[in-house]
Amino acid sequence: MRVVILVTLFGLSLAQHNAHIKNGRTTIVHLFEWRWADIAAECERYLGPNGFGGVQISPPNEHIVLDSPWRPWWQRYQPISYKLCSRSGSEDELRDMITRCNSVGVNVYVDAVINHMARADGGEGNHSSCGSWFSVYTMEFPSVPYSSWDFNDNKCYTGSGNIENYGDPNQVRDCRLDRLLDLALEKEYVRGKVAEYMNSLIDMGVAGFRVDACKHMWPGDLDNVFRRLNNLSTKWFPSGSRPFIYQEVIDLGGEPITSKEYFHLGRVTEFKYGAKLGTVFRKWNGEKLCYTKNWGEGWGFMSDGNALVFIDNHDNQRGHGAGGASIIPFWDSRLHKMAVGYMLAHPYGLTRVMSSYRWDRYIVDGKDQNDWMGPPNNSDGSTKPVPINPDHTCGDKWVCEHRWRQIKNMVIFRNVVNGQPHANWWDNQSNQVAFGRGDRGFIIFNNDDWDLDVILNTGMPAGTYCDVISGDKEGDRCTGKQIQVGSDGRAHFNISNREEDPFVAIHAESKL
């Protein structure tokens, strides 16, 4: 009997590691701060047709509206209620978007902010995205409703009421994260409200959640909440499917709270991945690309089946959060394409691609004074739509990294090589490396300051392949480079270090 229960519980939690991605797709894109109407259109016109598996959306619930700084991105991380109206749109627009994305096989993952409500300096009144009244002074959020009983202050023993020492797990979980009013998730009532919110989204058809700030919540409390979650909607998913859970835990080492406390609950963000790969591609600290021969667990990362990996996220792309200056955001576009390309070619982890907006960077003494800026907006503060240019790029400061040819084609590459082993490694003992994925794909990088000219075994069937970095396969021709693979699987590669994109990738479906 005991054994049966254990197996059942284990099976239940493991299920929350499954992203339920459809049609052999593999990658999630974070459309940071996009409006629901734009996401719906993007699913239909781009994400579905180009093999993206899912989209992570900004928090859909009611949030504070801040005047100072003006409408920053982080206001989305200060909940006021679980009403589904945010600066990305209304509940109806959200529902329409979820349906339309599901209809083209693109899953929706919701950013769930459940550790806290607004900040203690957030005032009171109706300055919120649906106009709900709240007071941070009395800790009242009547639209949930939460009152002062639902917060943790009685359990926090620091002088300030805030987290003062990350070396003490009790205060990291029970005190305020930088003055954010900390929810008492051990309370039946709070657990019920949070689960009700998440279930309303599951019933609308979402496939799972990116859970914000998990380091600041007890794994036992999260387990309780997650067990209350419904199975996914059978309109879109097989019956009995558990919601996919990926937990934001910033663990770069050096703190008592670690990622592995959360593995049994779902996947966990591997922040070491982008921080380390950034160091490698920037060639800092004597790092070389050839050292990534054992990339993944060999670098001390969490096990493959637990990892959600990314080059940058909405926080650390601003030089704000974890990883610091080594992170490679879209501003460093040449390196960004290479690092994302490497990630998507490599079998480790479930991959997430960032899609950002530009802001007016203004760096003083290494700190960006404008790291707070919210999305492109109209003068009334409303978020601008994402216009699509004739060349398929995005306008109005929307960066749309996921539409960059090199990144879009590597998302397809990952789908084509899905399940194939890392194979045929080659390196020059410096920053030129190559590897394949079984006999389905092959990629080669030149991040040295000199040219690459080499003949390598690709492991691929003979033929002429289009390089999907310098161009596309269009009908029976390549718009970029062509690579000839001989009957022995060998091919000649020549990559100048001065090229716009000093890497080449071929796969089974880029063959002429």
Q: Residue 178: name its binding partner from Ca ion, ligand 5J7, none (Cβ under 5 to 8 Å by kind).
A: ligand 5J7
Query: For residue 204, what are the contacts with CB-CB under 8 A and spacing of at least 6?
Result: 94, 95, 98, 233
The 8-class DSSP code of residue 262 comes to G
How near is the Cβ of 175 to ligand 5J7 at its closest, in Å? 12
- Distance between CA 135 and CA 61 in Å, rounded? 17
Q: Residue 33: name its binding partner from ligand 5J7, Ca ion, none (Cβ under 5 to 8 Å by kind).
A: none
Cβ-based nearer residue to Ca ion, 113 or 345 = 113
| Residues forming a β-bridge with 350 | 308
What distance lies between CA 227 and its chain's CA centroid?
A: 24
Q: Residue 321: name its binding partner from Ca ion, ligand 5J7, none (Cβ under 5 to 8 Å by kind).
A: ligand 5J7
How near is the Cβ of 343 to ligand 5J7 at its closest, in Å? 19
The first and second tokens of residue 327, run together, are 């992170």
How near is the Cβ of 213 to Ca ion at its closest, in Å? 7
What distance lies between CA 307 and its chain's CA centroid?
A: 11
Cβ-based nearer residue to ligand 5J7, 61 or 447 = 61
Q: Residue 74: name its binding partner from ligand 5J7, Ca ion, none (Cβ under 5 to 8 Å by kind).
A: ligand 5J7
Q: Residue 30: name its binding partner from Ca ion, ligand 5J7, none (Cβ under 5 to 8 Å by kind).
A: none
Tally of CB atoms within 10 A around 324? 13
The first and second tokens of residue 134, run together, are 């709240």
3-state secondary structure at position 87: coil
Q: Residue 320: name its binding partner from ligand 5J7, Ca ion, none (Cβ under 5 to 8 Å by kind).
A: ligand 5J7
How near is the Cβ of 69 to ligand 5J7 at its closest, in Å? 8
Question: Catalytic: 380?
Answer: no
How near is the Cβ of 29 to ligand 5J7 at its closest, in Å? 17
Cβ-based nearer residue to ligand 5J7, 210 or 414 = 210
| Span interacting with Ca ion, options 40-48, 208-216, 227-235, 311-319, rule CB under 5 A | 208-216
How near is the Cβ of 14 to Ca ion at its closest, in Å? 26
Question: Catalytic: 396?
Answer: no
Which of the residues 150, 248, 251, 261 is marked catalytic? 248
| Span interacting with Ca ion, options 70-78, 111-119, 247-255, 395-403, rule CB under 5 A | 111-119
Closest CA to 490 of 511, 464, 459: 459
Q: Residue 76: name its binding partner from ligand 5J7, Ca ion, none (Cβ under 5 to 8 Å by kind).
A: none
| Span interacting with Ca ion, options 113-121, 197-205, 315-323, 336-344, rule CB under 5 A | 113-121
Cβ-based nearer residue to Ca ion, 111 or 371 = 111
Q: At what angle do helices 271-282 and 333-345 cross, to 10 degrees?
A: 120
Q: List helix spans (H) across 169-302.
A: 169-174, 188-204, 219-227, 271-282
| Burial classification of residue 7, based on how many CB atoms lie within 10 Å of its CB (0-12 exposed, 13-18 middle, 19 or more buried) | exposed
Give the CA distances from residue 472 to residues 85, 390, 504, in Å, rounded to whole numbers and listed in that order: 40, 17, 12
| Span interacting with Ca ion, options 214-222, 421-429, 446-454, 489-497, rule CB under 5 A | 214-222
Cβ-based nearer residue to ligand 5J7, 74 or 189 = 74
Give the CA distances from residue 244 to residues 60, 179, 205, 206, in Å, rounded to whole numbers and listed in that order: 17, 30, 12, 9
The end-to-end CA distance of the chain, in Å, is 58
- Distance between CA 385 and CA 450 in Å, rounded? 43
Cβ-based nearer residue to Ca ion, 115 or 356 = 115
The first and second tokens of residue 296, run together, are 């993944």
For tokens 């719906």, name the residue: 40
| Residues forming a β-bridge with 109 | 56, 208
Please report the DSSP string for 119-183 in residue order.
ETTS-EES-BTT---EETTTTBBTTTTB-GGGB-GGG--SSSSB---TT-HHHHHHSBBTTEEEB
How near is the Cβ of 212 to ligand 5J7 at its closest, in Å? 5
Q: Would you count residue 212 as binding Ca ion (CB under 5 A)?
A: no
Q: Residue 182: name its binding partner from ligand 5J7, Ca ion, none (Cβ under 5 to 8 Å by kind).
A: Ca ion
Which residues contribute to the site for ligand 5J7 (CB under 6 A)? 74, 77, 113, 177-178, 180, 212-213, 215, 248, 250, 315, 320-322
- Distance between CA 345 and CA 468 in Å, rounded? 12
- CB closest to ligand 5J7, residue no: 77
Query: For residue 94, what are the contacts with CB-CB under 8 A and spacing of at least 6?
Result: 36, 60, 84, 88, 204
Q: Residue 343: name its binding partner from Ca ion, ligand 5J7, none (Cβ under 5 to 8 Å by kind).
A: none
Contact with Ca ion (CB under 5 A): which of 71, 76, 127, 216?
216
Closest CA to 207 of 173, 246, 163: 246
How near is the Cβ of 216 to Ca ion at its closest, in Å? 4
Cβ-based nearer residue to ligand 5J7, 383 or 424 = 383
Which of the residues 38, 93, 174, 212 is marked catalytic? 212
| Span interacting with Ca ion, options 128-136, 215-223, 407-415, 446-454, rule CB under 5 A | 215-223
How near is the Cβ of 324 to ligand 5J7 at its closest, in Å? 10
3-state secondary structure at position 362: coil
Cβ-based nearer residue to ligand 5J7, 15 or 120 = 120
Residues 136-195 that bind Ca ion (CB under 5 A): 182
Parallel/antiparallel/unpaired status of strands 477-478 and 473-474: antiparallel
**Catalytic machinery residues:** 212, 248
- Residues contributing to the site for Ca ion (CB under 5 A): 115, 182, 216
